Structure 1
Amino acid sequence: MPIDPSVAIGADLGARTFSWTESDVLLYHLAIGAGSRSGDNLSPAALRYTLDDAALQVLPSFGVVAPTFHETDPPPLDLPGCDINLAQVVHGAQSISVSGALPTSGTATVRTTITDVWDKGKAAVIWQEGVATAGSDGSGEELWRTRSSIFVRGEGGWGGDRGSATAVDVPERDADHVSSYAVTPQQALLYRLCGDRNPLHADPGFAKAAGFPAPILHGLCSYGIVLRELTDGLLGGDATQVGGFTGRFAGVVFPGETIRVSGWREGGSIIASAAIDGGERDGSPVLADCVLSLA
């Protein structure tokens, strides 16, 4: 069968050493909408994302893309025990936890393993975990940990473990923060320069063959937008207050649409959700089960 859990689960995907610069951080922040509002070019708070001076900070979601930031080919899917193609795959969920403020430049090594393969009947879910440590040999301090899943349409049905998921309930009260971000028509074309050249987000023909009427925004772009909106709206724009961020990709975003972000303070964390704001798809979910943990 295309996916063999006995081979995939526990597979060590090896170590990868990578480096990043302040320019990479700036590009990432611009790609997730930083600096896009009127007056941001003059705002000290907004410039913490977009100006390479002593105040430059790094939004923790950058750690998710940093290892592959300089890739120019579509993401490979040569996972042990998994014979799948790119047109079958969408991002399922993503989380990152950081050990402290991320440096604006550096070198690190990430080691990744496949931890779970779930059988959803008409689809399969493949989970990976990565640990990034400072230094070219991975001997430095831990910088961040990631956990992510991909949803593989058309697979599953072998009678395997269906897995489990814990829904995050949104509080039954008015949100402490609500904001909207208008996704630009070229947003996906800009974000793909952050290392994800999947043609699903840029090539209309590929998107149509995959079942979409047009290219869709990268899930991780929506993920970064939501985290940035929450950080700005509830943490005073201070990225160092973010200890981690988790979200499940609940729906697609087409460039040109608007994302509405809602957040609720709950103890030592922020519960959040994101949906399409306005238009024919008003209210369609974008990101669900979102939790921003505080540092």
Structure 2
Amino acid sequence: MPLDFEALSSWEFEDIRQTLTEKDTILYALGLGFGEDPTDERELAFVYEDGLKAVPSMAVTLGYPGFWLRNPKTGVNWQKVLHGEQWLDIYKPLPVKGNIIGRTRIDFISDKGEGKGAVIYQSREIIDADSGEKLARVAMSAFCRGDGGFGGENSPGPDPAGLPNRAPDHVCDLETLLRQALIYRLSGDYNPLHADPDVAQSVGFDRPILHGLATYGLAARALLKSLLDYDAARLVGLDVRFSAPVYPGETVRFEIWEEAGEARFRASVPERGVVVLNNGAARFA
């Protein structure tokens, strides 16, 4: 069954209503390794209810519609879907608790051609259900490797952020735990690829990989640590291109370049010599 362009283009998402609790906010931060040093008061603020702050990248988990491309009606070969890019704009600091609405839509679908795959671009508004205020906009691309050539337009996506041709201003190494994916998945992404060794091996990985959005959250942690003195309210935008997976237990190295009111960055795993996040861009208030 080929990708159903008409069905996907007009796919109707129900609003996702979520009750966010302080426990959810703390669990998300723990899934990114915050609190590694429990005596560091700056990181403790993200994992302790007294004066709790939300990690800005938590927006990507709010109002999440689930892995909807696994629905057979899409016609998508879901086993070959990769997370391509992630974009985030934050309009006001995220609450640590409250009632949230996630409103998802398909923006467009690009046909790269037979044997070259297709890219689905989708976005989600994160809304405070009590006030009606928009908190953030989350957008992503899904690269469907097995679904090109359905006769659609080859529409280009947003241009990736360029990286400066000079040495980085900051280098930040963050260690991940062997059980990191098992913690992070409790924030809502239960894809067995990140927990079940048999599933991981069936799609070509030696063992379960870390969620791409967990690596993305590590970028937020690295930026807060390196540039913002953990002032969460200052991080208002975060965009990346995913280029390779991280295995739990690996160290992720962030190279960061300071720009006027923003930063550019990439992330790699030194022991494998592979870039895992590329063309990163962060915007600051």
TM-score bracket, normalised by the shorter chain, equals over 0.9
Partner of 2:28: 28
Partner of 1:195: 188
Taking the aligned partners of 2:62 and 2:78, their CA distance within structure 1 comes to: 21
Q: 1:45 aligns with which of 42, 45, 57?
A: 42
**Match for 1:155: what amino acid?**
D
Partner of 1:206: helix, strand, or coil?
helix
Q: Is the 8 A contact 1:119 1:159 kept in 2?
A: yes
Q: Is the 8 A contact 1:8 1:79 kept in 2?
A: no
Partner of 1:49: helix, strand, or coil?
coil
Taking the aligned partners of 1:161 and 1:213, their CA distance within structure 2 comes to: 36
Tell me if 1:115 matches 2:115.
no
Note the alpha carbon deviations across 1:56-82, whole angstroms, 9 max, x for none: 2111111111224xx9xx733266962
Partner of 1:41: helix, strand, or coil?
coil
**Cα pair distance change 1:6/1:75, threshold 3 Å:** closer
Note the alpha carbon deviations across 1:138-165, whole angstroms, 9 max, x for none: x611111110111222110234323324
Q: 2:125 aligns with which of 117, 125, 131?
A: 131
Partner of 1:63: 59
Taking the aligned partners of 1:125 and 1:187, their CA distance within structure 2 comes to: 28
Partner of 2:74: 82
Partner of 2:279: 289
Q: Which stretch of structure 1 is more off in the superposition, 253-262 or 119-128?
A: 119-128
After superposition, the CA RMSD in angstroms is: 1.9
Note the alpha carbon deviations across 1:243-266, whole angstroms, 9 max, x for none: 111111111111122111011111
Q: Which runs of 5+ in 1 are unaligned?
A: none
1:1-295 map, 5 Å: 2-36=2-36, 40-54=37-51, 56-68=52-64, 75-77=67-69, 82-121=74-113, 122-135=116-129, 140-165=132-157, 166-278=159-271, 281-282=272-273, 284-295=274-285
**Cα pair distance change 1:265/1:79, threshold 3 Å:** farther
Cα distance, 1:85 vs. partner? 4.4
Taking the aligned partners of 1:157 and 1:238, their CA distance within structure 2 comes to: 46
Taking the aligned partners of 2:172 and 2:252, their CA distance within structure 1 comes to: 8
Taking the aligned partners of 1:45 and 1:217, their CA distance within structure 2 comes to: 25
Aligned length, in residue pairs: 282
Q: Which runs of 5+ in 2 are unaligned?
A: none
Q: Which stretch of structure 1 is more off in the superposition, 184-193 or 10-19?
A: 10-19
**Match for 1:25: what amino acid?**
T
Partner of 1:263: helix, strand, or coil?
strand
Q: Is the 8 A contact 1:215 1:254 kept in 2?
A: yes
Identity percentage over the alignment? 38
Partner of 1:13: helix, strand, or coil?
coil
Taking the aligned partners of 1:152 and 1:203, their CA distance within structure 2 comes to: 22
**Match for 2:238: what amino acid?**
F
**Cα pair distance change 1:187/1:214, threshold 3 Å:** same
**Cα pair distance change 1:128/1:110, threshold 3 Å:** same
